Amino acid sequence: MTRTLRNALLGAAFGLALTAGSAGAATIKVGVVAPFSGPFALVGKTFKEAIEVYQAEHGKTVGNDTVEFVYKDLDQANPAQSKALSQELIVKEKVGYLAGYFFTPDALAVAPLIDEANIPCVIFNAATSAITEKSPRYVRTSFTLWQNTVPLAEYMAKQGIKKVVTAVSDYGPGIDGETAFKATFEKNGGTVVDTIRMPLKSNDFAPFMQRIKDAGAEAIYAFLPAGPTTLAFAKSFSDNGLKAAGIKFFGPGDITQEPDLPALGDAALGITTTFNYSRVHDSAMNKAFLAKHKEMFGSTDTVTFTSVGAYDGAHVIYQMIKNTGGKSDGAKAVESVKGMSWESPRGPLTIDPNSRHVTQTIYLRTVEPVDGKLENVEKAAFANQPDYGYKVGK
């Protein structure tokens, strides 16, 4: 036998072991779909960095198996492209798990694929409640708009605020935020005086600012996907004089994600949000996470909510691999993490067995300077918040 032929056969046999999930050592691939280019490229970077921190801390093997993450770039909300990339990961890369997904439409698009291939999909971000209802293979480690908004609306009502305008991006999570806010705030005695829905791709917010002024509200509740969108909206709020006019600014913490705070500057000061993670969350585990991140990447400037979505998502995937002994069985893998609880850099987490979404502490925060840097400083904590939007209206 020639050396080349023998190597080719060995290669093929080895390849078989990799995909068959045999008792021997295998490589289990996890496909991660996220923006790595374009305006939301920071998201992919935060996912990848957090996964690398997790693997540096926990190793790259589970039992006999090596866990390898494979990344695909999806620069925007594009469900057809999301489906094509995910299919390629399943068919060509033979991934055993799918993960990532920043935008709701991109996560929703893979439901038929994960059902058919019996593959778990661990969502690191996409935050519309209905997603996990579309397939029993979804597990989510981020947050939902309902989860952040219910405690925020209750808090605002308790502060004596009576009239609010909601301003949201006109798609899944925005509509969830608007619905959750209106229902909760009005139940608690407030009035939503206008509901503004802005196209997902808006970048000129001046007309919306005029509408907010005209509504005569004391405060706004705003949701847009974190990134250039939130940055432009928050700057516009300040530049168009709404901040100076004393209108108070509230929303889920997407609007004050840490990497954007230096660019927002004074416009960020005083914005009050509810969210699942602040970079300055005071816990030993968060300090260890930040220290490892700094050691590996030189700074913690990119660390934000998408970092912990991926870090905890990697943890869930590792547990699924462990619980199934490395065998490819999506139904069993998902079943095995229902009810799982663990400590995260953001606080305690539990996977709700019904919604397959994390129950977690939601923090009330205000942007303030800390050691010369703007941060989301936690002011109150609301423990054990579920996804209030799961099966609402069903």
- Pick between residue 34 and residue 127 the one whose CB is nearest to ligand PHB: 127
- Pick between residue 105 and residue 190 the one whose CB is nearest to ligand PHB: 105
Count Cβ atoms within 10 A of the Cβ of residue 394 and give its class: 0-12 exposed, 13-18 middle, 19 or more buried.
Answer: exposed
Q: Considering the rule CB under 6 A, would residue 96 count as an interface residue with ligand PHB? A: no
- Pick between residue 143 and residue 318 the one whose CB is nearest to ligand PHB: 143
Q: Which residue is nearest to ligand PHB (CB)?
A: 225
Count Cβ atoms within 10 A of the Cβ of residue 190 and give its class: 0-12 exposed, 13-18 middle, 19 or more buried.
Answer: buried
Q: Considering the rule CB under 6 A, would residue 126 count as an interface residue with ligand PHB? A: yes
Question: Would you put residue 263 in left (φ > 0), alpha (ψ -120 to 50) or beta?
Answer: alpha
- Residues composing the chain: 394
Nearest-angstrom CA–CA distance, 117 and 110: 11
Q: Considering the rule CB under 6 A, would residue 225 count as an interface residue with ligand PHB? A: yes
Q: Which candidate, 21, 14, 119, 20, places its Cα nearest to that of 62?
A: 21
Q: Considering the rule CB under 6 A, would residue 138 count as an interface residue with ligand PHB? A: no
Q: Considering the rule CB under 6 A, would residue 109 count as an interface residue with ligand PHB? A: no
Q: What angle do CA 238, 240, 244 make, to 5 degrees?
A: 55
Nearest-angstrom CA–CA distance, 350 and 338: 8
Stretch that binds ligand PHB, among 88-96, 119-127, 348-356, 368-376 (CB under 6 A): 119-127
* Element at 313 (helix H, strand E): helix 305-323
Count Cβ atoms within 10 A of the Cβ of residue 230 and give its class: 0-12 exposed, 13-18 middle, 19 or more buried.
Answer: buried
Nearest-angstrom CA–CA distance, 92 and 90: 6
Query: Among 31, 151, 173, 345, which residue interacts with ligand PHB (rule: CB under 6 A)?
Result: 173
Q: Considering the rule CB under 6 A, would residue 337 count as an interface residue with ligand PHB? A: no
**Nearest distance in Å: CB 226, ligand PHB:** 4
Query: Among 254, 258, 260, 375, which residue interacts with ligand PHB (rule: CB under 6 A)?
Result: 254
**Nearest distance in Å: CB 175, ligand PHB:** 11
Q: Considering the rule CB under 6 A, would residue 103 count as an interface residue with ligand PHB? A: yes
124-135 burial, b for 16+ CB within 10 Å, e for fewer? bbbbbbbbbbbb
**Cα separations in angstroms, 222 against 43, 230, 234, 248, 249:** 20, 9, 9, 11, 8
**Nearest distance in Å: CB 34, ligand PHB:** 11
**Nearest distance in Å: CB 128, ligand PHB:** 5
Total residues at interface with ligand PHB (CB under 6 A)? 11
Stretch that binds ligand PHB, among 20-28, 121-129, 259-267, 296-304 (CB under 6 A): 121-129
Q: Considering the rule CB under 6 A, would residue 147 count as an interface residue with ligand PHB? A: no
Query: Among 226, 234, 333, 351, which residue interacts with ligand PHB (rule: CB under 6 A)?
Result: 226
Binding site for ligand PHB (CB under 6 A): 102-104, 125-128, 173, 225-226, 254
